[in-house]
Amino acid sequence: MSENDNNEICELISNISSYIRFVGIISRTGALLAHFRRDGLEPLLDQKSTQYQFAQIAIKNELEEQFDAQLGDVEFVWEERENVQTISFSIIDKKIWITIDRKVVRSEMLRIIDSCLPIVKRYS
């Protein structure tokens, strides 16, 4: 996947909902390859914590792959936290990590997920 593809994925996903705070494409090593951040929002994590978060995503991705043969590939992971909701998708050897406002109702989260899946499949 090229740098243009990474940027295009971020743009396509960011346009799905105004509740999307952040979209990032994270490499197998935890490097941020492309991203979108909604204007006017302060990041929830400082720079060092953000790097740790991306490293954790990369490590978790590698660990999940150990079970793919038995359980099948992970399509997405949805996580609800006290201050934010996150969704992650795999594309080839990269992760798309999306943060969404915590106040979003579940039906909107499902709409966001359903809208992301065709984009993920297109680039997989």
DSSP string, 59-82: HHHHHHGGGHHHH-----EEEE-S
Residue 35 has what pLDDT?
A: 95
pLDDT tens-place string over residues 90-121 = 998 899 999 999 999 999 999 999 999 999 99
Residue 122 has what pLDDT?
A: 95
Residue 66 has what pLDDT?
A: 85
Domains of the chain, start order: 3-123 (3.30.450.30)
As beta bridge partners, residue 85 has 80, 100
C-alpha distances (whole Å) from 96 to each of 1, 56, 70 are: 13, 13, 23
Tokens of 28: 């197998």
Q: How far apart are CA 77 and CA 93, in angstroms?
A: 16
pLDDT top residue among 34 and 58: 34
